[in-house]
Amino acid sequence: MSNDKLFVFDTTLRDGEQSPGASMTRDEKLRIAKSLENMKVDIIEAGFPIASEDDFQAVKLVAEQVQDSTICVLSRALDKDIARAGEAIKPANSGRIHTFIATSPIHMEKKLRMSPDDVLAQAVHAVQYAGKFTDNIEFSPEDAGRSDFDFLCRVLEAVIDAGAGTVNIPDTVGYNLPDQFGSLIGRLIETIPNSDKAIFSVHCHNDLGLAVANSLSAVQYGARQVECTINGLGERAGNAALEEVVMAIRTRRDKFECDVTLDATQIVGCSKLVSSITGFPVQRNKAIVGVNAFAHESGIHQDGILKNRETYEIMRAQDVGWSNNQMVLGKHSGRNAFRSHLEEIGVTFSSEEELNNAFYRFKDLADKKHEIYDEDLQALVNDSASTVQDSIRLVTLQTCTGTGEKPKATVTLSVESEEKTQVSDGAGSVDAVFKAIECIVDSGCELELYSVSNVTTGTDSQGEVTVRIRKGDHRVNGQGTDTDIIMASAKAYVNALNKILMPVAKKHPQKAV
């Protein structure tokens, strides 16, 4: 059996960000990119630079700071998109331009209003033009899963000739079935005369819940790059989940003629980071990264596991980064122990200031909570606590509640360095706190999501709060973590308000060219 490399291409920062409500700030994108780099993801699709100045700057930042993974950017098959993409990846150690145009009859006729010959010519031109900026070019025939086979072959042969080193076959609307999609890839590789000059990649959407199955089938038929996202985030029902694709390949090596070179022990940490930043919770029974993925409830199963783990487990929880619930650090741990333990679980700091800030919050937490677990540390670094640049800062917070009394909150904020205090009541303490904050800031935002989850077990656990607020079309998520969930809620709301002060307009990459 040959043992080819299977390239893992993560598009959490691009397709994942297209999930409604999952937008991320520049710094959040960088944190996720660093975590993906730590995991040894081969290619990170960092964004769609033409969409907005903010996306452009985010990609540039990622390209400057990430050394080990290739940084890819998306562009329509248009010169202005490609030139912007080329500019964004300039600082990258290794950069790639990914250009696309739709090839299905419905997209060409109804969306692009172009003839197949014009689409083919534009695809070839785009790849040639991208060659002015990099020799690492990927081309995608959008909606390939519903495209005419012969036309697809003509387009792919032509773009490979024009210099595309990777050709990606998207099932854009998640319409295909596993055997159909796998054999499509096999037939393309067999039919296209220059197919040996390019890596065949797949990009599957999950509209029928088949994204991972379709991707794996394609790998069995010869695909050597899979595009996927952490937690399966992405447009509509999402993309193929990275963690599921990777662990299926690792666990069933007997069924694949290739392997990944990824560090799977970083998966759980990265999943938590993405969930916390986007406000998309991971379903408890989600494969690999759900909290129940390795929990055995029934007596028969527990008995079996105790006798021989393999009776009911096909993977080891620690191989994907679940910790074994050991207390890892305490009140007396120093900065070096803190830094080196975080490195072990895949967290690095981009500056001493960032480390100091996190260490200060760790000490604060250790005063309240004696046993600190890996989960606590992950939550602590995921919590984008207020920074000096924030114009709104939480100064103090008191709440008062009791049987038969309306909950009341007194909040003091520093807004542009001026302290303001407000007292409000509400249906509950959180409601009262948010009303008091709104009375001070008067942001006019609408609260779209409020969710709380516990970081560890026990009543001294930290609560992790995510809020999503909207102003017009602009949505942001805010996070806050604290052993007191009212405080965590206030931090999350203030965090979201600080982000929404920087509105950005985005174009959608798959909108008509």
Contact set with ligand KIV (CB under 6 A): 15, 74, 100, 140, 142, 168, 170, 172, 203, 205, 509
Distance CA 205, CA 507 (A): 20
Q: Which is nearer to Zn ion, 15 or 438 (CB)?
A: 15
Identify which of 147, 156, 172, 166 has the alpha carbon closest to the alpha carbon of residue 123: 156
Smallest gap from Cβ 170 to Zn ion, in A, equals 6
Q: Which is nearer to Zn ion, 47 or 321 (CB)?
A: 47
Identify which of 86, 15, 6 has the alpha carbon closest to the alpha carbon of residue 46: 15
Quick check: 509 and 51 in contact, CB under 8 A? Answer: yes
Q: Which is nearer to ligand KIV, 180 or 451 (CB)?
A: 180
Binding site for Zn ion (CB under 5 A): 15
Smallest gap from Cβ 170 to ligand KIV, in A, equals 3
Q: 346 contacts which partner out of ligand KIV, Zn ion, none, CB within 5 to 8 A by kind?
A: none
The token pair that represents 302 in the structure block: 């527990």
Q: 142 contacts which partner out of ligand KIV, Zn ion, none, CB within 5 to 8 A by kind?
A: ligand KIV
Q: 16 contacts which partner out of ligand KIV, Zn ion, none, CB within 5 to 8 A by kind?
A: none
The token pair that represents 194 in the structure block: 């220059």
Smallest gap from Cβ 142 to ligand KIV, in A, equals 4
- Sheet with 418-425, side-by-side order of all strands: 392-400, 408-415, 418-425
Residue 127 contacts by C-beta under 8 Å, 6 or more apart in sequence? 99, 137, 139, 159, 162, 163, 164
Quick check: 135 and 163 in contact, CB under 8 A? Answer: yes
- H or E stretch covering 199: strand 199-204
Q: How far is CA 6 from CA 179, 218, 328, in A?
A: 19, 12, 35
Q: Which residues pair with 366 in a beta bridge?
A: none
User: How far from chain centre, in Å, is Cα 282?
Assistant: 12
Q: 23 contacts which partner out of Zn ion, ligand KIV, none, CB within 5 to 8 A by kind?
A: none
Smallest gap from Cβ 13 to ligand KIV, in A, equals 13
Smallest gap from Cβ 81 to Zn ion, in A, equals 16
Q: 140 contacts which partner out of ligand KIV, Zn ion, none, CB within 5 to 8 A by kind?
A: ligand KIV
Nearest 5 degrees, angle CA 121-CA 124-CA 125?
85
Q: Which is nearer to ligand KIV, 142 or 438 (CB)?
A: 142
Q: 100 contacts which partner out of Zn ion, ligand KIV, none, CB within 5 to 8 A by kind?
A: ligand KIV
Q: Which residue is closest to Zn ion by CB?
A: 15
Q: Which is nearer to ligand KIV, 13 or 494 (CB)?
A: 13
Identify which of 98, 26, 31, 38 has the alpha carbon closest to the alpha carbon of residue 68: 38
Smallest gap from Cβ 506 to ligand KIV, in A, equals 15
Smallest gap from Cβ 325 to Zn ion, in A, equals 37
User: Which residue bears the tokens 């406000």?
Assistant: 279
The token pair that represents 324 in the structure block: 């074994």
Q: Which is nearer to Zn ion, 10 or 15 (CB)?
A: 15
Q: Which is nearer to Zn ion, 146 or 470 (CB)?
A: 146
Q: 176 contacts which partner out of ligand KIV, Zn ion, none, CB within 5 to 8 A by kind?
A: none
Smallest gap from Cβ 458 to Zn ion, in A, equals 41
Smallest gap from Cβ 241 to ligand KIV, in A, equals 15
Distance CA 337, CA 37 (A): 23
Q: 238 contacts which partner out of ligand KIV, Zn ion, none, CB within 5 to 8 A by kind?
A: none
Q: Which is nearer to Zn ion, 102 or 430 (CB)?
A: 102
The token pair that represents 496 in the structure block: 């979201």
Q: Which is nearer to ligand KIV, 111 or 301 (CB)?
A: 111
DSSP letter for 283, please.
Answer: P
Distance CA 359, CA 349 (A): 11
User: Which residue bears the tokens 């009541």?
Assistant: 425
Give one DSSP letter per residue of 95-135, joined into a string: EEEEEEEE-SHHIIIIII---HHHHHHHHHHHHHHHTTT-S
Residues making up the chain, counted from first to last: 513
Smallest gap from Cβ 174 to Zn ion, in A, equals 9
User: Which residue bears the tokens 């007396």?
Assistant: 332
Smallest gap from Cβ 136 to ligand KIV, in A, equals 16
Q: Which is nearer to ligand KIV, 111 or 296 (CB)?
A: 111
Distance CA 59, CA 88 (A): 6
Q: SS3 of 508, please?
A: coil
DSSP letter for 90, please.
Answer: T
Q: Which is nearer to ligand KIV, 70 or 140 (CB)?
A: 140
Q: Which is nearer to ligand KIV, 125 or 335 (CB)?
A: 125
Identify which of 61, 105, 104, 55 has the alpha carbon closest to the alpha carbon of residue 81: 55
Smallest gap from Cβ 445 to Zn ion, in A, equals 29
The token pair that represents 292 in the structure block: 């129940």
